[in-house]
Amino acid sequence: MTATTSRFRYEAEDLEGQSVKGTIEAATINAARNQLAVQGMRVRKISERKAFAQIEVTPQRIPLVEIMHFSRQMATFMRAGVPVTEALDNLRQDTGNKRFALVLGDVIERVANGRPVGEAVAEHPDVFPAYFVAILEAAEFTGRIDEAFDQLHTYVKRDISLQRQIRKALIYPSILMVVAILVSVLIVVVVIPKFAEFYEGFSGADGQPAQLPLPTRMLTGIASFVGSPWGAVVGAALVIMSVGAVLWTRRGPGRRWLDGLLLRLPLIGKVMTYSSTERFTRVLGVLLDAGVALPDALPTAIDCSNNEVFKERLAVAAEQVLGGAGFADPMRDTKLFPIAVVQMVRVGERTGELADQLGNAASFYEDEVTYAVEKLTQWFEPAILIFIGVVVGFVALAMVSAMYGLYDQVQI
C-alpha cells in the first residue's frame, strides 16, 4: 500500500442482520466506514491491517491525463453551480482508476468536514503537483475556482502534448539503438564463435594451425572472453555498476551532477535548457494569472522544475527577489535562461503584465523544445546507423580477410 491508501479489516452487519467480516481499501478509516455504510453495512469493529504482505511495491499509477480530465470536468461542474462535494463524488464514480477513486474519496471526506478543496488535494502531493494546489488555494480567496480548474486543464493539456511530442520524436532513434545493441550482441555471442570453430579446422602447409589476420583474432578473442567465466564476472560487475549509477543519479548529489552534465552537452543541453525554461515560465505565469503573489509563486514554480541546477540557482534568485532586486536581474544572474526570456520578463515588470509575458515565453519555448528535439534526433539517427555500419563492416572485413589470409596457408 502507499501513504495514500490503506487496507482495513472490519466486522459489520448487513441489511439482513448477518455478521460480515472482510477487508476494504480506503484513504482513511473514516473513508472506509463511509464506503461500508454506502453498501448498507453497520460497522461494529474496524482497524487498519498492517502486514508486510500488504505493501504494494508498484501501486497503480495515476496518469497525468486523469488529472487533465478531472480539471476540465470540475471546471464544467463549477460553472454549472454543482456543489463541490457532489461534483467530486460524480467524478469518483466515473473514474476507471481505482487509486484515483480512493484519493477523490478522501478529498470528498475532507471537503465535507469543512476544509477547502485546495487543502484537501494538498494531502496527496504524489498525485496533485504543487502548482495545482497553489492555484486552487489562490482561487478560493478570489472566488474564481472554475477559472482555476480551466487554467489547470489548459496547462496540464499542454504539458501532456509536449511530452507526447518528445516521446514521438524519440521513438525511431530508440528503435535504432535497440537494433544496434541486438546486432552487436548477436555478432559477438553467436556469429563470431561459429566462424572461430570453422577456422580452427584449417592448418598450414607445415601442419601448424593457420594464422588468422589481426581483425579476426580480435573478434574471436572478444567472443572467447564474453563466453568465459571472467566475461560473466565483468558483465555482472557492469550490470551492478549501471544499476548503482542509475540509483545514484535519481536524487541528491548524483541527480544534481547528472543535470549539470546534461546542460553542458551539445544539443542535449539545449533541449534541457528549453524544457526547463518552458516549464518554469509556464507554471509561474499560471500562478501569477491565478492571483498568487510573485514571492509566494516562485517557490512553487521552482519546485516544479525538472532540473536540479535550475532549482538550486533559482532558489538564490528567489532570495534576491524577496530582497527587492526585481525579477529580471536575478534571472539573468542565474546564467541559465536565454536572453529573450530575461528581456520578456523585464518588459513584463515595466508594464505590469508579467504573467502575460511569462505565458508568451512559455509558448515560444514550447515550440523551441519540439524543434530542438527534432534536431537532436536528426543527428542521433545517422550516428546510430554509422555505429551499426562500423560494427557490421568490421565483422565483414575480419571474415573476408581471414578467408583470403588462409588461402595461401591452407593445405588443399
Three-state helix/strand/coil letters over 330-342: HHHHCCCCCHHHH
The CA distance from 408 to 239, in Å, is 44
pLDDT tops 90 at residue 241: yes
Q: Does 178-412 match 64-158 at the fold level?
A: yes
State the pLDDT at residue 57.
39
State the pLDDT at residue 230.
87
Fold of 178-412: Receptor-associated Protein (1.20.81)
3 state SS of 35 = helix
State the pLDDT at residue 409.
57
Q: Where are the domains of the chain?
A: 6-54, 64-158, 178-412
The CATH number of the structural domain formed by 6-54 is: 3.10.20
Query: Across residues 78-82, what is the average pLDDT?
Result: 89
User: Which cell is 270 given?
Assistant: 539545449
Highest mean pLDDT among 19-28, 33-42, 386-395: 386-395
Q: Which has the closest alpha carbon to 283: 272, 268, 299?
A: 299
pTM, rounded to two decimals: 0.65
State the pLDDT at residue 5.
58
State the pLDDT at residue 24.
79
Q: What is the pLDDT of residues 267-324, one digit of tens each?
A: 888 888 988 898 888 888 878 887 778 888 888 888 878 788 998 999 999 888 888 8
Angle 294-303/308-322 helices, nearest 10 degrees?
170
Q: Which has the closest alpha carbon to 213: 411, 407, 412?
A: 407
Q: Write down the architecture of domain 64-158 according to CATH.
A: Up-down Bundle (1.20)
Q: Which has the closest alpha carbon to 84: 154, 33, 127, 143?
A: 143
State the pLDDT at residue 74.
92
pLDDT tops 90 at residue 240: yes
pLDDT tops 60 at residue 187: yes
